[in-house]
Structure 1
Amino acid sequence: MNGETALVTGANTGIGREIAAQLAAEGMTVYLGARDADRGKAAAGELGGDVRFVQLDVAEQAQVDAAAKRIADERGSLDVLVNNAGIGGSRPEVEATTAADFGAVLDVNLLGAVRTTHALLPLLREADLPRIVNVSSGRGSFAITEDPERMESKLLGLVYPVSKTALNMLTLQYARALPEFRVVAVDPGFTATALNNHTGTRSAGESARTIVRLALASFDGPSGRLYDADGLVGW
């Protein structure tokens, strides 16, 4: 048991659940954050290791603050924060998209990561090597979406890709401001989850392994960068 502590947001299903399970298998105490209490408690109960459900809707400041207080009371520090919670939104055609379509998605995918990171910073500072992993997407990478060999270059849309591009910049700025931290973003790949009606080509477990590798203290890649299963990816 390594004695470290992690918080994973959006973790009652899909990639988040697999991240929680794999971090627990590494010996960490894992707080499984989920909006739905029944599903979150069930997931925590089904996973092995020291996995603890915490009510956490990243769009609700009071729940974020309460989660931070609970971790502080029970553990006193936090080694790993995985900002995994995300939604796809309604996905209208580009020309039909309005400003109103961005609100809920940005509130979760971008501002949710800001709320959670800000609230947990005091606990992360208590860790020997604090790590923040932001779960992004290839659709938010200019390098990937401009590569004609990648399927992301064939997809059109404003809201979700823009939210993940903004999350990438958030990652870079946190990394620059917090040189004693390791802050990275990760493209998990086209994963079969509810976000894409389970049409993805990678399993949640496979994608989680990439994220968990980045979250471990043994990972020694540079901070403030975007990674995928093969390594560094261009912004």
Structure 2
Amino acid sequence: MCDAFIPLLQLSDSPRIVNVSSFMGQLKNLLNEWAKGILSDTENLTEERIDQVINQLLNDLKEDTVKTKDWAKVMSAYVVSKAGLNGYTRILAKKHPEFRVNSVCPGFVKTDMNFKTGVLSVEEGASSPVRLALLPHRESPSGCFFDRKQVSEF
């Protein structure tokens, strides 16, 4: 979807992309060393390399070898999808230095996905992505991961 909007964003004097991610997508939650190595290699990270990691996870899911390949402690598909999104954020930021491209974990929000067990309301969760989208362009970092309002490690 980002690629489809790039031409429109280029018309703006302050183009930005805010990807909604999760703290679960931080590389410390990815236990598979092969996948972690690919996603942490920022100099050589490409969309194709992210696809390679995701396709390997899908293959391991089909073969029921996810646990033996030690992808993550819980919710492997979620962890890998969010880690991939965070990697894609870095790629886009590097590819479009005139943009501000970041990913953000909105916090543990009460959603259907977690059966409303989150601690933040939807409105509270929305505040972090909206804040990033509205920061003054010149003062905004790019290629970062935010845990709510703080820059955090990928």
**What's the TM-score once normalised by structure 2's chain length?**
0.68
1:140 and 2:58 matched: no
Q: Take 1:156 and 1:194, find their aligned partners in 2: how far apart are those partners?
A: 18
Contact 2:30 2:80 (C-alpha < 8 Å) held by counterparts: no
Which among 125, 130, 139 is matched to residue 15 of structure 2? 130
SS of structure 1 residue aligned to 2:17? strand
Shift of 1:217: 4.1
Moved more, 216-225 or 159-168: 216-225
Shift of 1:144: 6.6
Matches within 5 A, 1:70-149: 116-143=1-28
SS of structure 2 residue aligned to 1:120? helix
Contact 2:30 2:79 (C-alpha < 8 Å) held by counterparts: no
1:185 and 2:70 matched: no
Q: Take 1:231 and 1:118, find their aligned partners in 2: how far apart are those partners?
A: 27
| Superposed CA RMSD | 2.0
What amino acid does structure 2 have at the position aligned with 1:173? I
Count of matched residue pairs = 113
Contact 1:144 1:234 (C-alpha < 8 Å) held by counterparts: no
1:194 and 2:112 matched: yes
Shift of 1:229: 2.2
Shift of 1:222: 1.3
1:224 and 2:143 matched: yes
Shift of 1:163: 0.3
Shift of 1:221: 3.2
User: Percent same amino acid among aligned pairs?
Assistant: 42
SS of structure 2 residue aligned to 1:134? strand
Deviations 1:107-156 (A, max 9, x none): xxxxxxxxx1111111000000100000000110124779xxxxxxx961
What amino acid does structure 1 have at the position aligned with 2:95? A
What amino acid does structure 2 have at the position aligned with 1:138? F
SS of structure 2 residue aligned to 1:183? strand
SS of structure 1 residue aligned to 2:113? helix
Deviations 1:15-65 (A, max 9, x none): xxxxxxxxxxxxxxxxxxxxxxxxxxxxxxxxxxxxxxxxxxxxxxxxxxx
What amino acid does structure 2 have at the position aligned with 1:228? D
SS of structure 1 residue aligned to 2:14? coil
What amino acid does structure 1 have at the position aligned with 2:101? V
Q: Take 1:228 and 1:173, find their aligned partners in 2: how far apart are those partners?
A: 19
Q: Which residue of 2 aligns with 1:174?
A: 92
Contact 1:138 1:145 (C-alpha < 8 Å) held by counterparts: no
Provide runs of 4+ in structure 1 moved above 3 Å. Answer: 143-146
- Higher relative CO (CA 8 A, sep ≥ 6), structure 1 or 2? 2
Q: Take 2:141 and 2:9, find their aligned partners in 1: how far apart are those partners?
A: 18
Contact 2:145 2:153 (C-alpha < 8 Å) held by counterparts: yes
**What's the TM-score once normalised by structure 1's chain length?**
0.45
Contact 2:20 2:103 (C-alpha < 8 Å) held by counterparts: yes
Q: Which residue of 1 aligns with 2:67?
A: none
